[in-house]
Amino acid sequence: MNKKSNRKSLYLLTNAIKNLVRNKGRNILVAAVMLAIIVSTVVTLTINNAAAKIIDGIRLDLGSRVEIRQDLIEMRQIGLGREDVSYISIDAFLSFAESDYLSKAIYGANMYAWSDTFRAVDDPGERPGQVMRVNDNGEKVVVETCKLVTTSSPDTLADFGTLRKIRSGRMFSNLNECIVSEDIAELNNISVGDTIELMSAFITDKNYRLTVVGIYSDNTEAYANFFFTMNGRFADNRRNEIITGFDTLMAAGWDSNQGLDMKTEYYLRNPDDIKRFETEVRAKGLPITYNVSINQSAYDKVTGPLSGMKNAAVTFMVVILILGTIVLALISFLAVRERKYEVGVLRAMGMEKGKIAFGILTEAVMIAVLCLAIGLGAGNAMAQPVADSILAKRVAAAEAANAARSGGRRVLFAGGQMQTNDNSAGYVPESEIQVSLGADVLVRIIILTLGLAALSGIVGVVIITQYEPLKILREIN
């Protein structure tokens, strides 16, 4: 009995192989549909996984960086003015960094300044420091001509190593050292080792005498906002940034952030702890006019093209799977109906329905395995160029949209603080992606392929179980 059963199984397997050639036209059509589904799924899954990993990495970076800044725009919207601007002590800013929710803090602040020892780029005056104005305290001060940018971590300075590079000298490392742009240096014949003087444009007793230890090239946009260009705010020209250490700034004896634009970044251990961190700093006295938040506009700008590509890939994959499954089921249905005579003969010879179903499933699995081997190779080869092409188009579209919005950005100033309604300046959309066929994608594709084979075979099995052999032969006759 077992030998007879084995012979039937061997016959079915041999017959299945012969049927692949005998019905090659139909099988090629089935294989083409399967192959299209597999290749499309390999491409979309690898792109989706790669994009998701990059977005998660950016989330851990930008999503963990918390800024504490006064929301001047929100204050304006609810009817508050400059007189309502509040200031907090420098000690408070430092104490916020002691939170257990943080892994580290990078201190920074910008100070609008002027100098009578060098001329700023785009300064229309005949001599440095000649235009006067009245500050928030009613004091007559010189209009700012440059910006003192400070950080406690020179290695994290934005754009250095890409759009900005030290061309002579070195990066600052000690107290009262600074670096200046090539534009400032050439305009004023400044060399490494020279000394420059800066005075705060808002707090009159904060003065600095700095030694230039480095000169950097600058290929960034001179003005990050169209507002600065239209209003002649040459102090916000990035060529006029004098960069030094945070300790150098604090050495002048600042008690509060009045006259400073604080840029300290607090790094959360877990991005999900932002609300807990906010509760803690509020308890330490942070005024309600200050926001505790990540730079959402920068995050959206960096991840926007990737997120769009990821969502488009998922949508495309779902559409292909639905349409491909319907077409595959229809082809399988028609194929089995064409083989009714063969099925009727086998049933009349006494072969069980299960054995015939096994033969049909075997054919489907053979086709699926062949398509799997070809589809994995083709999909893996196509994924990278497809991803590069899609991402490049989405980055170009995002940059065009960002340029179109730049004219509508708002800018507010108060007490040395500057805020725009778009804090994404200096950030660019992620434009590179490396895709590869990972183990997780491979497992999903194998499961999908087996599912397609099962679908193709089950359709035939369902049809077979509905007919008796004599009925099939009678209909053929």
Once rounded to an integer, what is the mean pLDDT over residues 26-50? Answer: 87
Name which of 2-16, 249-263, 440-454 the model is least confident about. 2-16
Name which of 43-52, 153-162, 315-324, 393-402 the model is least confident about. 393-402
Once rounded to an integer, what is the mean pLDDT over residues 139-152? Answer: 84
Position 291 scores a pLDDT of 85
Q: Among residues 15, 10, 17, 9, which one has the least CA distance to residue 367?
A: 17
Percent with pLDDT over 70 in the chain: 73
Q: How confident is the model at residue 13 (pLDDT cuts 50, 70, 90)?
A: low
Is the model's pLDDT at 2 over the cut of 60? no
Position 410 scores a pLDDT of 55
Once rounded to an integer, what is the mean pLDDT over residues 290-303? Answer: 79
Is the model's pLDDT at 5 over the cut of 60? no
Name which of 57-66, 108-117, 436-445 the model is least confident about. 57-66
Rounded Cα–Cα distance for residues 150 and 295 (Å) = 19
- Look up the pTM and report it: 0.67
User: Quick one: tokens of 269?
Assistant: 């251990």
- What's the mean per-residue pLDDT of the chain? 80
Position 412 scores a pLDDT of 46
Name which of 264-278, 296-310, 325-339, 341-355 the model is least confident about. 341-355
Which whole-number Å values give the CA distances from 359 to 11, 92, 339, in the listed order?
A: 9, 77, 12
Decide if 143 contacts 112 (C-beta within 8 A): no
Once rounded to an integer, what is the mean pLDDT over residues 16-21? Answer: 61
Residue 46 identity: T
Once rounded to an integer, what is the mean pLDDT over residues 174-194? Answer: 95
Position 292 scores a pLDDT of 87
Percent with pLDDT over 90 in the chain: 26
What Rg do the C-alpha atoms of the chain give, in angstroms? Answer: 35
Rounded Cα–Cα distance for residues 428 and 403 (Å) = 12
Once rounded to an integer, what is the mean pLDDT over residues 180-185? Answer: 95
Name which of 17-21, 162-166, 204-208 the model is least confident about. 17-21
Position 166 scores a pLDDT of 95
Task: Give the model confidence (pLDDT) of 227-270 as tens digits.
Answer: 665 556 788 889 999 999 999 999 999 999 888 888 888 999 98
Rounded Cα–Cα distance for residues 187 and 121 (Å) = 8
Once rounded to an integer, what is the mean pLDDT over residues 363-392? Answer: 87
Higher-pLDDT residue of 447, 472 = 447
Rounded Cα–Cα distance for residues 42 and 3 (Å) = 43
Once rounded to an integer, what is the mean pLDDT over residues 423-446? Answer: 80
